[in-house]
Amino acid sequence: MIRISDLCHVYGPRTVLDVPSWEIADGAAALVIGGSGSGKSTLLHVLAGLLTPTRGRAEIDGVDFAKLKPGARDRTRGATVSIVFQGVHLLPALDVAGNLALAADLAGTPAGGDRVERLLMRLGLAHRAHAKPRELSGGEAQRAAIGRAVITRPKLLLADEPTAALDDRNAEIVLNLLREEAAQVGATMVVATHDKRIMHAFDQRLELETPA
Amino acid sequence: MKTLRLACAYLRDRPLGAALNVLLLALGVGTVTALILVSGQMQSRLARDGAGVDLVVGAKGSPLQLILSALYHVDVPTGNVPAALADELAADRLIAKAMPVSLGDSLRGYRIVGATHAYPLHFGARIAAGKMWDGPLQATIGAVVASDGGVALGDRFVSSHGMSAGGGAHEHASFEVVGVLEPTGTVLDRLVLTGLDSVWIAHGQEPPPVAPDSDAVAPEGLEVTAILIAYRSPMAAATVPRRINSTSPYMAAAPAIETTRLLSLVGSGLDVMRAFAWVLIATSGLGVFVTLATAMRERRADIALMRVMGATRTRVFAQVVVEGLIVAAAGAGLGFLLGHGAVEIFAHISEKAGEAGVTGFTVAPVEAVILFAALAVGAAGAIAPAALAYRVDIVRTLSR
């Protein structure tokens, strides 16, 4: 269960995020929409424990990242939350399989056996397991990034504009993958986007307004 | 995935920078290692070859030359002294041993030394085959002469005049090899030992027979090259050299003083080279710093991503330090091999180094300090870049 209450974040004189309350049930797929500067990414950063809000609480299964010490916050984030970014984020020094293995290791769930291979097969990337990120196409890289996010079996899967840079076909593929993989690992999914093509596919939605 | 594997992956991803740093460090470590090996082995060889000899008495000239020729057998003698002087010194109550040696001839580059049995016994020589010489024109050869000199027990040879190969042969005096010594790890291994009378015979003189195990060696009118002396008491050091140098036409030189002077002369050159090598090592630390600091600018997003995936600040700090340590370890390891390899090659191509028993197949305890210093340099070079990684602002970096 994700529970947000009276959440507010301020940069200088500007309020960039204001969410009075929001709850997302376990395993649900939720959408955060809003224009540029409405605080979509800020909300995801708060949910991931990357940013401590100026006020209010955001809890994942009762855990408020803001209340944890830095080291514990990092470890808890690794074990419970994964993020897929718009700009693909993979470590360029590692191949695709290495990126997935590293994510699992950092999350404290080392990818033993053939977990990486099976996931890459589901993602249609088995043949690219040993390719470096720079050798991947845009679609392959985004699928690899999804693999990197779900290999840890997170409780919460966050995606920040995951389809914004993709064409219709790849946007559909990525969205379906996100939903399937989140369902596969039982993760709650929160997607922040202003991409109208994918707005139909979610159970819940939170609309953020750009502050005046 | 473990820190070490990820660090290796990043180093493989930019091989040129990593290889240059490894090479720079290897050159520094290799140079220091080689200098330590060579100087250490030379010093220990000098100590072994001079063990128990407190004074060398010979013709006036350079004291260092007298020591180098009569004790270490690497220079030409300063001249000769009367053989009777050996008896005179042996009778001194402050002197325990007075061992005359006669030099001047060689066999295929190995020096022939005329002496009494007291000389090889002083160095703990033991017979491996045959016997000690006990008659005129008999020779007992050192272990290296036997293995590398092309002469064996029972062979006959004529000596060449001079200390190196190519001198005129003393055709009228044919020596017989009657014994081979066991290896001693001293200069004895590279010598051909014979009686004092054999050297006189080879030079056309007709001395009365001298018993090789006799202390009285001094037929009138005959000469030896030098006399090696062991004191009976430390008191002798204060009086014997001064007495000889001030009241006789001969020269007394103390090996301890002369070798210290020699090492200080050579040592200043070694110090310059050693300092240069340490500069190389320090420069490689700077190289590690520049390479990693530059990489950190390019890798901010990677570091931020690792933090997003659950890596703590300490983990990313350690990640960068490990990269520096890997470079340092590789450089130190390569430098170790380079240093030892260079010394071994030097020992093969340099006759003098070979004669001195220099080898690359030995490890000096102080090398552990060098390896530790190299690792410390690598770690120090990585500290500042690691601090950059530690301080990466995740949100700001990911928002770019």
pLDDT digits (tens, 9 = 90+) for A9-33: 998 888 999 999 999 999 999 999 9
Q: Using an 8 Å CB-CB cutoff, list chain B residues near A83.
A: 308
What pLDDT is attached to residue B168?
73
Q: Using an 8 Å CB-CB cutoff, list chain A residues near B300.
A: none
Tens digit of each residue's pLDDT (9 = 90 or more) over B110-122: 999 999 999 999 9
The pair of three-digit structure tokens given for residue B66, joined into one six-digit string = 């007298």
Lowest mean pLDDT among A26-30, B45-49, B163-167: B163-167
Q: Which of B301, B286, B337, B317 is nearest to B389 (CA)?
A: B317
Q: List the single residue in A with minimal CA-CA distance to B12.
A: A93
Residue B83, helix vs strand vs coil: coil
Q: List the single residue in B with minimal CA-CA distance to A77.
A: B310
Q: Which of residues 168-207 of A touch B (CB under 8 A)?
A: none
What pLDDT is attached to residue B217?
55
Q: How far apart are CA B147 and CA B134, in angstroms?
A: 23
Q: How far apart are CA B97 and CA B92, in angstroms?
A: 9
Interface check for A8 against chain B (CB to CB < 8 A): the answer is no
Q: Using an 8 Å CB-CB cutoff, list chain B residues near A71.
A: 312-314
Q: List the single residue in A with minimal CA-CA distance to B300.
A: A91
Cβ distance B394 to A50 less than 8 Å, yes or no, reads yes
Residue A24: φ, ψ to 5°:
-125, 130
Interface check for A147 against chain B (CB to CB < 8 A): the answer is no
Q: Which of B321, B296, B390 is nearest to A71 (CA)?
A: B390
Q: List the single residue in A with minimal CA-CA distance to B3.
A: A102
Q: What single-letter amino acid sits at A50?
A: L
Residues A172/A149, Cβ–Cβ less than 8 Å: no
What pLDDT is attached to residue A196?
85
Q: List the single residue in A with minimal CA-CA distance to B310.
A: A78
Q: Spell out the residues 6+ positions from residue A130 whose beta carbon is closer than 8 angstroms to its own.
A: A95, A96, A97
Calculate the dihedral angle through the C-alpha atoms of A173, A178, A184, A188, rounding to the nearest 10 degrees.
Answer: -160
- Full 3-state SS string of B12-80: HHCHHHHHHHHHHHHHHHHHHHHHHHHHHHHHHHHHHHCCCCCEEEEECCCHHHHHHHHCCCCCCCCCC
Query: Residues B276-291: what's their mean pLDDT?
Result: 87
Interface test with B, best of A45, A76, A90, A105 (most B CBs within 10 A): A105
Q: What Å distances lie between residue A187 and A81, A99, A152, B338, CA to CA?
A: 9, 20, 10, 56
Residues B286/B279, Cβ–Cβ less than 8 Å: no
How close is the nearest chain B Cα to the Cα of A97, in Å? Answer: 11
Q: What Å distances lie between residue A36 and A40, A121, A192, CA to CA?
A: 8, 36, 11
Cβ distance A106 to B306 less than 8 Å, yes or no, reads yes
- How high is the mean pLDDT of chain A? 91
Residue B388, pLDDT above cutoff 60: yes
Q: What single-letter amino acid sits at A103?
A: A
Interface check for A153 against chain B (CB to CB < 8 A): the answer is no
ipTM above 0.85, yes or no: yes
Query: Residues B99-127: what's their mean pLDDT?
Result: 93
Cβ distance A79 to B310 less than 8 Å, yes or no, reads yes
Cβ distance B309 to A107 less than 8 Å, yes or no, reads yes
Cβ distance B305 to A91 less than 8 Å, yes or no, reads yes
Lowest mean pLDDT among A96-100, A191-195, B199-203, B207-211: B207-211
> Among partner residues B1, B13, B395, which is closest to A50 by beta-carbon distance?
B395
Residue B356, pLDDT above cutoff 80: no
What pLDDT is attached to residue B165?
62
Cβ distance A94 to B310 less than 8 Å, yes or no, reads no
> Among partner residues A74, A101, A152, which is closest to B311 by beta-carbon distance?
A74
Cβ distance B311 to A106 less than 8 Å, yes or no, reads yes
Q: List the single residue in A with minimal CA-CA distance to B13.
A: A93
Cβ distance A74 to B313 less than 8 Å, yes or no, reads yes
Interface test with B, best of A43, A52, A82, A91 (most B CBs within 10 A): A91
Query: Residues B247-271: what's their mean pLDDT?
Result: 88
How close is the nearest chain B Cα to the Cα of A77, in Å? Answer: 6
The pair of three-digit structure tokens given for residue B342, joined into one six-digit string = 């260079």
How close is the nearest chain B Cα to the Cα of A80, in Å? Answer: 9
Q: Alpha helix locations (H) across chain B?
A: 3-13, 15-49, 63-70, 84-90, 118-122, 143-148, 196-202, 236-247, 255-298, 300-308, 313-349, 351-355, 367-390, 394-399
> Among partner residues A75, A93, A152, which is closest to B312 by beta-carbon distance?
A75
Residue B216, pLDDT above cutoff 70: no
> Among partner residues B9, B312, B398, which is closest to A85 by beta-carbon distance?
B398
The confidence band for A191, taking pLDDT boundaries of 50, 70 and 90, is very high
- A/B interface, count of CB pairs below 8 Å: 71
What pLDDT is attached to residue B211?
64
The pair of three-digit structure tokens given for residue B353, joined into one six-digit string = 């180094």
